[in-house]
Structure 1
Amino acid sequence: MTWRDAISTALYGPEGFYVTGGTPVPAAHFSTSAQTGTPFARAVLRLLRRVDRLLDHPDPVDLVDVGAGGGELLDAVHRLLADPPGTLADRIRLTGVDPAPRPAGLPEPVAWRTAPPTGTTGLLVATEWLDNVPLDLAVRDGDRLRCLLVDPATGRQHPGRELGAADSAWLARWWPPLPDGAQAEIGRPRDEAWAAAVRTLRRGVAVTVDYGHRYADRPVTGTLTGFRAGRTVAPVPDGSCDLTAHVAIDAVAAAGSAAVGGAGHLLCRQRDALHRLGVHGRRPPLALAGTDPRGYLAALAAASTAAELTDPDGLGGHWWLVQPVGLAVDAESLLV
Structure 2
Amino acid sequence: MGDANGRHWRTWRAATEEALYGAEGFFRTQAPAAHFRTSVHVSPAFAAALLRLARTVGARTVVDVGAGRGELLRALHDLDPDLGLVGIEVAERPAGLPASVRWSADLPDEVDGLLVANEWLDNIAVDVAELDDARVTRLVEVDAATGDERLGAPAGEEDLAWLAEWWPLTDGPPGARAEIGRPRDLAWADVVRRLRSGLALAVDYGHVRWRRPPAGTLRGYRSGRPVAPVPDRSCDITAHVAVDAVARAGERAGADETLLTSQRAALTALGVDGARPPLALAGSDPVGYLGALSRAGEAAELVAPGGLGDFWWLAQAKAGSAGTGAVDLCQALGEPDPPTALSPSPSGRMPPSG
| TM-score, length-scaled by structure 1 | 0.91
Give the stretch that moved more between structures: 111-120 or 272-281. Answer: 111-120
Structure 1 ranges of 4+ moved more than 6 A? none
Among 13, 24, 32, the residue aligned to 2:22: 13
What residue ranges of structure 2 are gaps of 5+ in the alignment? 1-9, 320-324, 335-354
| 1:111 Cα offset (Å) | 1.1
Q: Which residue of 1 aligns with 2:259?
A: 266
CA contact (8 A) 1:18 1:99 kept: yes
Mapping 1:23-62, distance limit 5 Å? 25-52=31-58, 61-62=60-61
Q: Cα deviation per residue 1:88-135 (whole Å; 9 max; x = unaligned)?
A: x3xx21011111111222222111111221221110001000000000
CA contact (8 A) 2:189 2:250 kept: yes
SS at match of 2:257: coil
Among 305, 313, 328, the residue aligned to 1:312: 305
Among 245, 248, 254, the residue aligned to 1:254: 248
Q: Cα deviation per residue 1:53-96 (whole Å; 9 max; x = unaligned)?
A: xx7xxxxx2100101112111111111124xxxxxx3xx21011
Q: Which residue of 1 aligns with 2:350?
A: none
| 1:295 Cα offset (Å) | 3.2
Give the whole-Å Cα distance in 1 for the aligned partners of 2:149 and 2:215.
15
1:115 corresponds to 2:106? yes
1:135 corresponds to 2:160? no
CA contact (8 A) 1:288 1:295 kept: yes
SS at match of 2:203: strand
1:146 corresponds to 2:138? yes
| 1:290 Cα offset (Å) | 4.0
Q: Cα deviation per residue 1:29-63 (whole Å; 9 max; x = unaligned)?
A: 011112224100010000000111xx7xxxxx210
Among 233, 238, 241, the residue aligned to 1:239: 233
CA contact (8 A) 2:43 2:302 kept: no
Q: Cα deviation per residue 1:117-164 (whole Å; 9 max; x = unaligned)?
A: 122111000100000000000111223211111110011111111111
Alignment RMSD, CA only? 1.4
Cα 1:109–1:46 change in 2 (3 A) is: same
Partner letter of residue 332 of structure 1? C
Partner letter of residue 30 of structure 1? F
Give the whole-Å Cα distance in 1 for the aligned partners of 2:34 and 2:183.
26
| TM-score, length-scaled by structure 2 | 0.86
Q: Which has the higher helix share?
A: 1
CA contact (8 A) 1:37 1:73 kept: no
Q: Cα deviation per residue 1:295-336 (whole Å; 9 max; x = unaligned)?
A: 333322211111110011000000000101125244222224
SS at match of 2:249: helix
CA contact (8 A) 2:16 2:231 kept: yes
Q: Which residue of 1 aligns with 2:352?
A: none
Q: Which residue of 1 aligns with 2:3?
A: none
Q: Cα deviation per residue 1:162-181 (whole Å; 9 max; x = unaligned)?
A: 11111000000001333222
Partner letter of residue 257 of structure 2? G
CA contact (8 A) 2:269 2:332 kept: no
Q: Which residue of 1 aligns with 2:80?
A: 81
1:67 corresponds to 2:61? no
Report the number of matched residues: 317
Partner letter of residue 201 of structure 2? V
Among 296, 300, 303, the residue aligned to 2:293: 300
SS at match of 2:151: strand
Give the stretch that moved more between structures: 141-150 or 165-174. Answer: 141-150
Mapping 1:149-298, distance limit 5 Å? 149-177=141-169, 178-260=172-254, 263-298=256-291
SS at match of 2:313: strand
| 1:291 Cα offset (Å) | 4.0
Q: Percent identity?
A: 56
